[in-house]
Structure 1
Amino acid sequence: MSSVKTSPAADAGLTHLAVSLRGVTKTYDNGVMALGPFDLTVRKGEFISLLGPSGCGKSTVLRLIAELSAPSSGIVRVAHREGVVQPGHGIGFVFQEPTLMPWTSVRENVRLPLRLAGVPKAEARGRADAALASVGLADFADAFPRELSGGMKMRVSLARALVTEPDILLMDEPFAALDEITRFRLNNDLLALWRSLGKTVIFVTHSVFESVYLSQRVVVMTARPGRIQADIRIEAVEPRGEAFRTSTAYGDYCRKVSDALAPSYSGQPLL
């Protein structure tokens, strides 16, 4: 039976929820069942991480929320602020690769979603510059992607997602290819942005350590077809910083999440 998917501007059942998935499955045309049944609720302003083995459907969950793909069954609801009524609007998506246009400036890369939406050029330029400032790249607006480091390119990608002022930020392993020092720095910067902007963030990662450091909740998924193995709340003093990263509590949470993740890898070949 075909699924029903709604993304209402206002939904009485989503007063405090940003996202709700109920009984969601996803089977691809080749017959592979990637997800489900999958049930998840995310409160407005929450930061959660989806953690699980490769192929378990983490990225599929993000694509369903963003309406880049349709579920095979079940219901996906996304609550938008008043006035945001078009499917997919109110959502910013940061992919695994920055996917920047190499032939144009950083500012123009960030301005692209606004240009496609028909926002006047002067307004779009101001908003692009403000988004770049929010990720620490105000001085690089006129630079080209080839002049940036890997971490800076991901900052540009994040600015491009933020420039539309989304309610929900979806992030698909954005820091996976970066060195550890850059990754730690961007983790700290992302948390600072989340605290200041109040966005709902759903973050996909393969890293236990990253998921615990960033998240209020770590949702551990099973191997394909992806289901929820555990939903672990991370109770930590805010704002988080290096003191938390080196604390006993952090180590304990990492062990708890690792233990929940272990069954998902049982019997799987090492890649």
Structure 2
Amino acid sequence: MAEPALPDIDPGPAGLAVSLRGVTKVYDSGVTALGPLDLDVQRGEFVSLLGPSGCGKSTALRLIAGLSAPTSGTVGVSHRAGDERGRRSIGFVFQEPTLMPWARVRENVRLPLKLARDPVAEADARVSEALAQVGLAEFAGAFPRELSGGMKMRVSLARALVTDPDLLLMDEPFAALDEITRFRLNNDLLALWRSLRKTVIFVTHSVFESVYLSQRVIVMTSRPGRIGAEFRIDAPEPRGEDFRTSPRYASQCRQVSNALAPSYAGRPGA
């Protein structure tokens, strides 16, 4: 089955990377998962989608990636998010690393380039670069079973980066990791973003993670997911532990948490 085509958008003077207009998603079961949703994301922006389980965060990400089609509305991705061969350059990091257990790290990272039939020498160079970017250059010959959970997620991130995408979509990639590993990966992701200036849309359940990472936090309502609130995160760059322990961070987390609270009201276990 062919993937649904995403319309290009003219980035124009505003420099839009993604534009959603009146987007809804109704599944075959009759469940309305999303919308109507309107959202613009600027090129080079780091945006987090925050909300309760089932509010449509991951659905929105899949629509932007072109892995699913909206029931109504339009999903536009800038034509700049594509390479010279017309392939849309979107990297996707899923909740689980989804690595091939029989393949070494380098082959797991090489997979998108192999599927695209890129020249071997070019692919080798790009795999080496991506592994260096995530701090795993010395583990290129390892198997997934030899890696920790955090290292496996780094491999997944390298696989998303190896095509040099303009747009990086991340669906709760650090949710299953311990707190120390999660903090370290948050810091490393921010360093990569500052260096590479990709457009990042990051899905999370964590108020603290969203405020620490993002330039903008989109708080979504319970199903069907809509934008309930939006926060511009005012923080000095580069961010680090000084920000994480600052009164400003605590205040912004409190504001975001207060906006999120109505989405959990009346939910089982709330």
TM-score, normalised with respect to structure 2: 0.95
CA displacement, residues 188-218 of structure 1 (integer Å, 9 cap, x when unaligned): 0000000000100000000000000000000
Which residue is equivalent to 1:194? Answer: 193
Q: CA, structure 1 residues 174+83, in 2 after alignment: closer, same or farther (shift >3 Å)?
A: closer
Matched residue pairs, number? 267
User: CA, structure 1 residues 48+80, in 2 after alignment: closer, same or farther (shift >3 Å)?
Assistant: same
Quick one: structure 1 residues 103 and 69, their matched pair in 2 at CA, closer, same or farther if it must change by over 3 Å?
same
| Equivalent residue, structure 1, for 2:7 | 7
Aligned residue identity for 1:57: G
Is 1:140 the counterpart of 2:157? The answer is: no
1:268 aligns with 2:267: yes
- Cα gap change, 1:23/1:185 in structure 2, threshold over 3 Å: closer, same or farther? same
Q: Distance in 2 between matches of 1:46 and 1:133?
A: 23
Change over 3 Å in CA distance of 1:229–1:82 after alignment to 2: closer
Rounded Cα–Cα distance in structure 2 between residues aligned with 1:6 and 1:89: 9
Deviation at 1:84, TM superposition (A): 3.4
Find the aligned partners of 1:104 and 1:117 in 2 and give their Cα distance.
Answer: 18
The CA deviation string for residues 111-160 of structure 1, in whole angstroms up to 9 with x for no partner, is: 00000001011211111011000000000000000000000000000000
Q: CA deviation at 1:81?
A: 1.7
Structure 2 match to 1:218: 217
3-state SS of the aligned residue for 1:55? coil
Partners of 2:81 and 2:90 within 8 A in 1: no
Long gaps (5+) in structure 2: none
The structural deviation recorded for 1:80 is 2.8
Secondary structure in 1 matching 2:30: coil
Could you say if the C-alpha distance between residues 223 and 190 of structure 1 is closer, same or farther in structure 2, counting changes exceeding 3 Å?
A: same
1:24-65 deviation line (CA, Å, top 9, x unaligned): 000000100000000100000000100000000000010000
Query: 1:116 corresponds to which residue?
Result: 115
How far 1:15 moved relative to its partner?
5.1
Q: 1:30 is matched by which residue type in structure 2?
A: S
Equivalent residues of 2:48, 2:201 under 8 A apart: yes
Contact 1:80 1:167 in 2 (8 A): no
Q: Percent identity?
A: 75
Aligned to 1:244, the other structure's residue is in SS state: helix
Partner of 1:131, secondary structure, is helix
Moved over 6 A (4+): 85-88
Give the drift of 1:87: 8.2
Structure 1 unaligned blocks of 5 or more? none
| Pair 1:22-2:21 in alignment | yes
Contact 1:5 1:75 in 2 (8 A): no
Matched, 1:70 2:72: no
